[in-house]
Structure 1
């Protein structure tokens, strides 16, 4: 049974290695259909949200009090009224998307020099909030043909261009005369849509596809405007649109004498409620440009910044991981092929010598030799070690057994049921559930099925895989639980189904209260929370039940190669490097060294470039496979050293050693927060550390399960080899 498990695990790892190596650079699968447009066909423009790299709080675009509100009119090319939100999947809701139809009209191939949108009248409180959001560096996300509006940049050598999703809501600058900070809002947007001829039959019929969506911002004051509301001269605006209203407490004569003075007296609390208003005019321009240099299937590539340089660093990460894993493989191979083989040979020679001594004593009946009470005829060394029966030939036995030391003496205790095994079994089950989810996500992402065009797909599919992997969670939890001698499997399945998912849901619910108080779009609606609970209780719980029933009642416990004695051995004093805290930290540092380079890209994508997209899942898959192999090797070495020190408490230790690198990952999160990020504010910091803690717990459970199962297979193998001899 153990051989089957090891063979299945090895086969799965090799399959993933070959698959990930084949897709070292994840490619993009366009999708099932390409949307083409003909000349003069209307194309809807959708507005989504605003977000910033300096805070974790996002807001729906139409929830902002200083932007043009939707008119509620149905425009050509869309079946929705302006302001009406589209249907979102679970992943989009969880990531804070709030996509709605806008009033901006786009017509394929038709340029619009200027179109007036609205004049928004705002009060001081609204202006204050706009200034704060400009200060925080918020950017706006609009969507055309599933492409986010982008700000265009060029590389230092000006050889290539690349995109950053979103465009700045406004900007700030220091006035040279006063040295004070000024905030301006971008109230005129120039939209550039790049297109090319559609491939296939659609192109032959005059169809065109959108390959790029660029947005250029400008701040234009209210002066010199046409009757339509558009600026008289967009390129030569007199002054930008500043987010400021003069204070009513300012000296009236001073304001009249210096109407355009750079001195801005600060607003007082009384001014906030004085009812003063500011009119902000909004307008936009649209230009269509044909671009045959961008393929539709590769239109997302421009959003991947420094792709070539990043690929070199990813290869460096893989080489670093291979060196570490290769060194560990050599150590493990030496332990398995030389050290353990030598130990087994020594054990076999001692057992043979023990048999000769007994034969001599039996051939001399007058010597006074007697058979100890309870000893079976022909009992070997496994049944003799630790026997304290006093007779005339004990000294001869001790001489024959003096070479049998270390892990070989633990045959009667090594499979002793661990303390709190009823908790360890559900944790192993949850770890297998997370491992199945992670493997599924990596495979689908490496194949390009989960790509940026599938908005929210990574989170949605991940949740689906996690829920349906409940059957694996129940199976492994039930089987490990029975191996530990548990009898109440229904109680175990409830703990398995509730422990990790329940704690995770409780933490998310508490965080959601803080986000909801800030009116952020990342706050989960009540209906979404109810849907998650239903997924949990109505789908995952029955699947855990099925898996647990099959693993406990039909498959049963794993059989151990040796029997456990009734009285446990006394543990000797352990060196500092074998004790649990030190051993876990030291062992966890090695897997962390395998992944820390790739972690930099993942963190940058998650926290510093929330508008960007992590795209090299092929590299991540290869690093993940090397990580699993490294954890397995580190666990084998650590558990072997622990057993050689005559410490049989390896069950929990193997789990913590496997997940020990999660501690280093969390410390890395703290370092990243202090040195790389500019997040400030209690809520944003709370969200960062809470999400980081959740991610580290998930990572620790997954890796801890790998370590536990590897150690169990290793221990069964070496003690099974002794029994066979």
Structure 2
């Protein structure tokens, strides 16, 4: 029969004035406040964390006047070897002092979660007032009460007190078991409190227990106490230093373990880099050799290795929702660990009772969007549709793990009547935080991640039919690779784990959070290296199931941690009993799961970057320059000729077969052509009204000359149209997730499909652009003055109409929209420069606008256009796209013509800058000269 099973009987023997009833209504009041004022929940938690960081967590100010009352709080009592097995102090038949009872309200949720149960001692203690040895009560024990004390003394029960938030520990009694004298159990009845003060603050407390007596039923004895005050030189800020065991935590072995882990990381990173670079360099060389082979040699060569599975390596994993939830939760844990470590290190939270747990709850709720964002991005890349269910999974996975562990611990605590049982009010508060803060923030993060993730943008397309996985040797089995993946990460932290376990399961205060931060960074580095190695070994065995393998190989550290926790329980502790054993293994398992999730997510993220990098390197050319573009053009011509010869048949006749192919591949409908012509007529009418009702009144208002009045409307109209068209193109790029093509143009071909539907936003862009160039062709011939570059302008407009029609009809819109984006923005700058000249807006140097104009034209038309659009179109059509792309040689040829026209117009701008810089003319009064130099007739 345990002590707590008897405690209910003892409580009825203690007078009511010697007991303090818990005020449970405060919990319900807090719960009501949470529900009614849910908008202020995070603010309340932030204020609570702020109070922790300010080291003012208690309701007291920690300053006293002479003679002011100092409260001694009694906390818990329990077996020395079972740190978490605690019971209320007055569950033993102790008595209180004679002072009037006062209530103590828990200030943080962590107090209840940690089993803190403060009750007033009733002892009269005043600041700097010594108290001689004084009896505060007389006890006469019954047989059951004597048995309870004997049980406590035999099991080495200790108790904890608090004076001004400084803890004190004492032993209930003395136990001896000699072979000669037999078993002896004596109770300490006197307590000497030695309290050190510095000014008006308490900086040191010590407890000495003595006056041992034998316990006998129905024999009265006194419980006494004594208080001695003494001055101290300890500063208030340093008063907690005595509880920090520097000899234990800063022992040379701790430093040596950190140095050993660091050197292991350096060695491992070096070895991994060396092995992978050598191996990948050989693979890249072999792959470049394959590009020079013909199809027969490539198909029937002795090829093997990771690049053989490029068509399956980016296949979505099984159970994508669960996988994305695990990755999001793991990244959430990693962010939480880093932030809490830094906050604890900076704010010295270990000095205040329960402050680290409070900070953890606050930071977990605050960073809940991380889990939703990461999980939402990954799930969207896998093509998942049930995003609400996935968001709920991300927001509930970690709370359900904690709730499961807490429920098991709580049931065993309730069975033992331990203070470790969580009150209902605290559970309700935690549920309110989850429902009102964690879950909504996770949903917000998931929505943001889902909308910002874009398309997968994989370097290689996924085959429709999965490739069969070949049989592997025993040492290449995925389960063996997964188990081996966690060995070295565990080796980098197992010494630090010993210090962490000793702090949590024994009587040490962990305070070296600088060590913990460095160890966490080293753990992340080792985990990333090991998962990359494991994944490379798996891919090299032509097994494309790397996603789950990379996560599980990093998460396998939890297996080694749990095995170590079993070793620690057996050889490093003296725990016993059902409650303590259950509590130890449940929460050790929870700790291992959290570390496993964190390492698994870190490993997967690093491995995903690695996989994308190696597969992107074999399908993309890293060099982007004009020489490579010329070489690539030559290669593409050869490739086109080979394809034409291979597909040529004797019944092919030109132009009849050509138009037949055009009819089969063309996606334009007659209605599209009529829409273009109708819109071109509308634009012509709008231009007429724009010039008559807007431009001419403005010219009169500004008192412009007749010559300028005839040129300004043309530039204003062109500026209006180019700006509208360019903004519409930008909006379409963002709306259809095509902005990534600008930063990563070759990803166009990973998304390319001749059977896909063109978004209506893209149809609108092509409709308006084609109609405008039809209108511009008519305007150049019939509405504008004929100039020396008008022929080039007409040719440019016709070329633009042809390019737009081909890309629209053959579904090359992904390339075409980049062409429109790069050219229209340059046109906006050109028209602005001309308008500034007409209106005499020149308050800077004579050639400032021309210099800006030349930079814009060069960047957009002569740098980005050839190195992004031309390179993408040629390289993708030869190496990435399907072999039966219709009319791609014609399309690429017209792009080259457009590039030559850009060069032709750019040389006018350079001539203008040269003439201005050399002083050949100081003012461009001849507007026709400006028109020719700036090439007002441009696209």
TM-score where L is the length of structure 1: 0.75
Q: Secondary structure, in 3 states, of the residue corresponding to 2:122?
A: strand
Match of 1:38 among 48, 65, 74: 65
Match of 2:138 among 119, 132, 145: 119
If you compute each CA radius of gyration, which structure gives the higher value, 1 or 2?
Answer: 2
Task: Say if 1:309 and 1:440 are closer, same or farther in 2 by CA, change over 3 A.
Answer: closer
The structural deviation recorded for 1:349 is 2.2
Number of the residue aligned with 2:186: 184
Q: Secondary structure, in 3 states, of the residue corresponding to 1:119?
A: strand
Alignment of structure 1 residues 557-596 onto 2, 5 Å: 557-596=455-494
Match of 2:264 among 309, 320, 324: 324
Per-residue CA distance 1:275-301 (angstroms, 9 max, x = gap): xx4544211011111222x23222212
Per-residue CA distance 1:427-475 (angstroms, 9 max, x = gap): 11111221121111110112134122x2101111111211222211111
Task: Say if 1:501 and 1:194 are closer, same or farther in 2 by CA, change over 3 A.
Answer: same
8 Å Cα contact 2:198/2:232 also seen in 1: yes
Q: Secondary structure, in 3 states, of the residue corresponding to 1:538?
A: helix
1:282 aligns with 2:223: yes
Per-residue CA distance 1:287-340 (angstroms, 9 max, x = gap): 111222x23222212112243773422211111111211111112221443321
8 Å Cα contact 1:53/1:608 also seen in 2: no
8 Å Cα contact 1:167/1:216 also seen in 2: yes
Number of the residue aligned with 2:591: 695
CA RMSD of aligned residues (A): 2.1
Number of the residue aligned with 1:144: 163
Match of 1:421 among 314, 320, 324: 320
Q: Secondary structure, in 3 states, of the residue corresponding to 1:120?
A: strand
Number of the residue aligned with 1:88: 107
Alignment of structure 1 residues 305-704 onto 2, 5 Å: 305-307=245-247, 310-351=250-291, 353-354=292-293, 357=294, 394=296, 396-398=297-299, 401-402=301-302, 404-452=303-351, 454-609=352-507, 612-704=508-600
8 Å Cα contact 1:29/1:451 also seen in 2: no
The structural deviation recorded for 1:720 is 1.1
Task: Say if 1:674 and 1:557 are closer, same or farther in 2 by CA, change over 3 A.
Answer: farther
Match of 2:149 among 119, 123, 130: 130
Q: Distance in 2 between matches of 1:52 and 1:620?
A: 30
Number of the residue aligned with 2:208: 216
The structural deviation recorded for 1:38 is 3.3
Per-residue CA distance 1:171-221 (angstroms, 9 max, x = gap): 201367532x12122111000001223xxxxxxxxxx322210000013xx
Q: Distance in 2 between matches of 1:102 and 1:636?
A: 59
8 Å Cα contact 1:114/1:284 also seen in 2: yes
Per-residue CA distance 1:491-530 (angstroms, 9 max, x = gap): 1112222233224313312321111121111100111111
Q: Distance in 1 between matches of 2:141 and 2:86?
A: 18
Task: Say if 1:628 and 1:114 are closer, same or farther in 2 by CA, change over 3 A.
Answer: same
Q: Distance in 1 between matches of 2:250 and 2:53?
A: 21
Q: Distance in 2 between matches of 1:244 and 1:52?
A: 22
Q: Distance in 2 between matches of 1:308 and 1:494?
A: 44
Q: Distance in 2 between matches of 1:476 and 1:216?
A: 55
8 Å Cα contact 1:436/1:466 also seen in 2: no
Aligned length: 567
The structural deviation recorded for 1:125 is 2.1
1:52 aligns with 2:114: no
Q: Distance in 2 between matches of 1:460 and 1:507?
A: 18
Q: Secondary structure, in 3 states, of the residue corresponding to 2:589?
A: helix
The structural deviation recorded for 1:132 is 1.9
Task: Say if 1:60 and 1:287 are closer, same or farther in 2 by CA, change over 3 A.
Answer: same
8 Å Cα contact 2:489/2:527 also seen in 1: yes
Task: Say if 1:70 and 1:553 are closer, same or farther in 2 by CA, change over 3 A.
Answer: farther
8 Å Cα contact 1:57/1:515 also seen in 2: no
8 Å Cα contact 1:85/1:100 also seen in 2: yes
The structural deviation recorded for 1:53 is 3.9
8 Å Cα contact 1:62/1:70 also seen in 2: no
8 Å Cα contact 2:308/2:542 also seen in 1: yes
Q: Distance in 2 between matches of 1:177 and 1:544?
A: 67
1:241 aligns with 2:260: no
Q: Distance in 2 between matches of 1:129 and 1:324?
A: 54
**Which has the larger share of helix?**
2
Q: Greater relative contact order: 1 or 2 (C-alpha under 8 angstroms, separation 6 or more)?
A: 1
Q: Secondary structure, in 3 states, of the residue corresponding to 2:204?
A: strand
Q: Distance in 2 between matches of 1:64 and 1:322?
A: 50
Q: Distance in 2 between matches of 1:655 and 1:242?
A: 61
Task: Say if 1:291 and 1:92 are closer, same or farther in 2 by CA, change over 3 A.
Answer: same
Q: Secondary structure, in 3 states, of the residue corresponding to 1:570?
A: coil
Q: Distance in 2 between matches of 1:286 and 1:191?
A: 5
**Which has the larger share of strand?**
1
Per-residue CA distance 1:208-245 (angstroms, 9 max, x = gap): 322210000013xxxxxxxxxxxxxxxxxxxx322344
The structural deviation recorded for 1:138 is 2.1
Q: Distance in 1 between matches of 2:170 and 2:285?
A: 71
The structural deviation recorded for 1:663 is 0.5
8 Å Cα contact 1:480/1:557 also seen in 2: no
Q: Distance in 2 between matches of 1:108 and 1:498?
A: 50
The structural deviation recorded for 1:60 is 4.6
TM-score where L is the length of structure 2: 0.58
The structural deviation recorded for 1:670 is 0.4
Q: Distance in 1 between matches of 2:143 and 2:457?
A: 74
1:169 aligns with 2:172: yes
Q: Distance in 2 between matches of 1:280 and 1:411?
A: 85
Q: Distance in 1 between matches of 2:63 and 2:570?
A: 47
Alignment of structure 1 residues 225-304 onto 2, 5 Å: 240-245=212-217, 277-292=218-233, 294-304=234-244
Which runs of 5 or more residues in structure 2 are unaligned?
1-51, 622-939
Q: Distance in 2 between matches of 1:508 and 1:278?
A: 44
Task: Say if 1:557 and 1:505 are closer, same or farther in 2 by CA, change over 3 A.
Answer: farther
Q: Distance in 1 between matches of 2:554 and 2:249?
A: 32
8 Å Cα contact 1:658/1:704 also seen in 2: yes
